[in-house]
Structure 1
Amino acid sequence: MNHNQLEYIFNQFKHNAVFESVQELVSGHINDTYLIQTTNKPYYILQKINHTVFKDVPGLVSNKVLISQHLQHKLKHLPKNELFRRVLSFISSKTENFYFKNEDGCYWNLMRYIDDSITFETVNSAHIAYEAGKLFGNFLNLTSDFELTKLTTVIPKFHDMSFRYSQFEEALQKASQERLDLAKNQILLVQELKEEMHILQRLKESGDIRLRVTHNDTKVSNALFTQGNKGLCVIDTDTIMPGIIHYDFGDAIRSICNTGEEDEINLDLVKFNVSYYKAYAKGFLEQIGDSLSEIETKYLLLGAKSMIFIMAIRFLTDYLNNDIYYKTKYLEHNLNRSKNQLKLLQSLTNQEKELA
């Protein structure tokens, strides 16, 4: 979009600021995000929410705003400037919604920009893993008393193992013989792990593990840090939904503890980093450990295994379906991603005694 269009959209929100310039940020894969610079600080983040991925954008925005307001209330003892740095702050539109819908049906929301902060795409020290654990653990702790009935489920069955496994089984029936042959070893491994990987799903369905507010995308790049590498603010709250704590713990571990990139095809480079796991778990449990039930604590490590497995099965399913969901750069890209995740899971399992 051009400068004038973005300025017009920005001015549909109640901010009392004067637009000066705009810069597109390319960190996300789903939404379009822009940094709006104004004549005076604060600056703002203007975001176009992908309504083809998210079917209920008003519900999604409501989730983000309600959780931010809840966090702001919990941290109201902080000075206002500090509060704006630790919690996302959304700006309402002139129609009193927290989003603006333009004539082509696109939804936009606006929040204050948190300056003098940094993000990490990958973790390069146990200290960063520890700080990330503290930050996400504190987020879950502060939202643990939020009334779940107020939340919209923005992506139904997102981390539902039974659903993901049924998608895999359907893909097996339709896949070409060539792809079935190439993925033979991965298919067998997924089938062998089926029972263990459904344990958390069954505990959730039985109510033995309670539903909480969960972020559902706890990669380290969704955490802001201070210039001194201290955890500052949890961001990218589009996928907030009711879930179990193992989703957020496991997804963070999956992204933080892989010594290789997710696309790495040299599987000798893919190992599970035990020291990063211990550091993240230490920070996480310092913040939320006292509020966890015995059964929640018992199965945290299985949460990590399950989230690695669920990504492996999603990549494998997409490969068997001829690559219809994830963007691929070459023919066996999704298969290699699946191999990568299954190697990470194998490495975790081989070191499980060190993690208990």
Structure 2
Amino acid sequence: MEANLLKTIFNAFDHKSNFVSHSELNSGHINDTFLINTDFGNRYVLQRINHHVFIDVEGLINNKVLISNHIKSKFPNFSEQELSSKILLFVKAQNTKFYYHKENENYWNLMVFIDDSITYEVVEDEEIAYEGGKLLGTFLNLTSDFDSSQLIDVIPDFHDMSFRYKQYVSSLTNASKERLKKTTKYISVVDELKVEMHILQELKEAGKIPIRVTHNDTKISNALFDQYKKGICMIDTDTVMPGIIHYDFGDAIRTICNTTAEDEKDLSKVEFNLNYYKAFKKGFIEKMKYSLSPIELEYLPLAAKTMIFIMALRFLTDYLNNDVYYKTRYPDHNLDRAKNQFKLIESLSEKLVF
């Protein structure tokens, strides 16, 4: 993107500094994100929100700001400089809103860049897994007293098992004979697991698991660390919305504990890393021990299995629907992804007691 355009957009925000240069941050698959350098040495993260994916962008940004302000309120004695080094902070636009938007154009928001911070695309050791668990636990603990009904559903039914299962059932009626034949084994696996995989959904609907603020995109690359592998904060809060903690815990485990990429074809390489699971869970519970209800704690292992299953089901559904949702690089890419996740479930089930 041209520097002059970014400069114009950046200057629409109330940051009291001058644009010097920019670089693109490859931090996501949906939005465009840029690091902005200024004359005072302050740096900012300028983000374009994809309004084709997120229908209510204003609601999404409001969610992020509400949660940021709530976390900020927990540290009343911190200076602005201290806050900006530990918390995701948003900058108002000149019109006093927390976004810049022109009719029929993109939405943009601006955040203070946290200096001396790093992210990891994959977990390299148990220390990172442990710190990642502490970060997620801290985020959920700090927001545990926030009224989640103030937040919009950014992506309705995102982790809803009943919704995902209905999509899957519909795909069976639309699939070609060839694709049905290739997925026979996994259709049987879904049938075997479907009752167990609806347990969390049923507990949620029965009101037995509390609805909380949840992050909903808890891969390790959305956890920010310092240079010494110590956690700073959770980032990329675009999908913050009401949910149950099992969504966040389970999806973090899904991405942290797989020994391979999620499209690895050699299933002999796909294993559930039990040591990373234990390290992440330890850190998570350390920060959540006063916020977790007994039933939430009891179902953490099932959360891991359930979130892996949801992704396996989504990949399988998309394959049966002729690959209409996920980008693919070859004809059976989604099938390979589904196989990978089902193998991860198998490995997890061998190593965890439910």
**TM-score of Structure 1 vs Structure 2, range by shorter chain:** over 0.9
CA distance in 2, matches of 1:260, 1:94: 46
- The aligned counterpart of 1:75 is 75
Structure 1 segment 1-356 matched on structure 2, within 5 A: 1-353=1-353
- For 1:104 and 1:21, the matched residues in 2 are separated by 27
- 2:21 alignment partner, SS class: strand
Please report how far the alpha carbon of residue 187 of structure 1 lies from its aligned counterpart in structure 2 after TM superposition: 1.2
Runs of 4+ in 1 over 6 A off after TM superposition: none
Q: CA shift at 1:41, angstroms? A: 2.5
Normalised TM-score (structure 1): 0.98
Task: Give the Cα separation in 1 of the matches to 2:19 and 2:270.
Answer: 46
When normalised by structure 2's length, the TM-score is 0.98
Cα distance, 1:118 vs structure 2: 0.7
Q: Deviations over 1:165-202 (max 9, x none)?
A: 00000000000000000111111111111000000000
C-alpha separation in 2, matches of 1:41 and 1:74? 28
Instruction: Tell me the alpha carbon deviations over residues 81-107 of structure 1, each in whole angstroms, 9 at most, x when there is no partner.
Output: 232121111011111110111244210
Corresponding letter in the other structure for 1:332: D
Residue 307 of structure 1, CA deviation: 0.3
Taking the aligned partners of 1:16 and 1:80, their CA distance within structure 2 comes to: 15
SS at match of 1:291: coil
Which residue type is aligned with residue 280 of structure 2?
Y
**1:328-352 CA distances to partner (integer Å, 9 max, x unpaired)?**
0000000000000000011000111
Q: Is the 8 A contact 1:76 1:83 kept in 2?
A: no
TM superposition shift of 1:44: 0.6
AA aligned to 2:2 is N
Distance 2:119 2:65 in 1: 22
**CA-atom RMSD, angstroms?**
0.9
**Structure 1: distance between partners of 2:132 and 2:68:** 19
Query: 1 CA distance for matches of 2:79 and 2:263?
Result: 43
Structure-2 separation of matches of 1:164 and 1:299: 20
- The whole-number CA distance in structure 2 between the counterparts of 1:87 and 1:254 is 25
Shift of 1:263: 1.1
